[in-house]
Amino acid sequence: MGRIDDEFVTYVRDRLPHLRRAAYLLAGDWTRGDDVLQRALTDVYSRWSSVRRADNIDAYLRTVLVHRWIDEQRRGWASRVRLVGVVPDRPEQSHTDLDAGVDVRTALARLAPRQRAVLVLRFLCDMSVEETATTLRCSPGTVKSQTSAALATMRRLLTPSGSEPA
């Protein structure tokens, strides 16, 4: 391998757990998430000689990841092939509340693709409204409204029947 290939491998190795988690939350399962991430990494690798000089490589890769996932949603694969009854992979940390995690992931999967992308970028990737808007190629106002709508839906989906939302 050449020096540029080594740089790419090192970059990806250092960020892979976080990237896989973001892809998983976008896609709703590990297999589809890994597929989307693989396509995003392939795109970035093919342009690595110029990407490596970017001011914020992480932001560039997150943008590519979200766009690959949105492209997959548009293609309709997700509507033709849907696995049901599959228990999600266990999280890496054993102290995580598994039931709450499953509930949150299930609710997240029921959101519209753009709303899910906004929540993953804002809260998992810890991106600002402006960074999220740039990544999704929309206005900051759209990010705010999508975030508000997504959080309202999440609250509704996660609030037990008959109880008041927090």
Q: What residue ranges define each of the domains in the chain, with the CATH number in brackets?
A: 3-158 (1.20.140.160)
* pTM, 2 dp: 0.62
Tokens of 11: 């970059």
- The confidence score (pLDDT) of residue 124 equals 86
Helix axes 140-158, 98-109, angle to 10 degrees: 130
The dihedrals phi and psi of 119, each to the nearest 5 degrees, come to -65, -40
Nearest to 47 by CA among 34, 60, 32: 60
CA–CA gap between residue 132 and residue 51 (Å, rounded) = 19
CA–CA gap between residue 43 and residue 66 (Å, rounded) = 12
Q: Is 146 exposed, middle or buried (0-12, 13-18, 19+ CB in 10 A)?
A: buried
Q: What is the pLDDT of residues 51-102, one digit of tens each?
A: 999 999 999 999 999 999 988 887 765 555 555 555 555 545 444 455 666 7
Average pLDDT over residues 116-136: 92
Average pLDDT over residues 133-156: 94
- The confidence score (pLDDT) of residue 61 equals 95
Average pLDDT over residues 133-144: 94
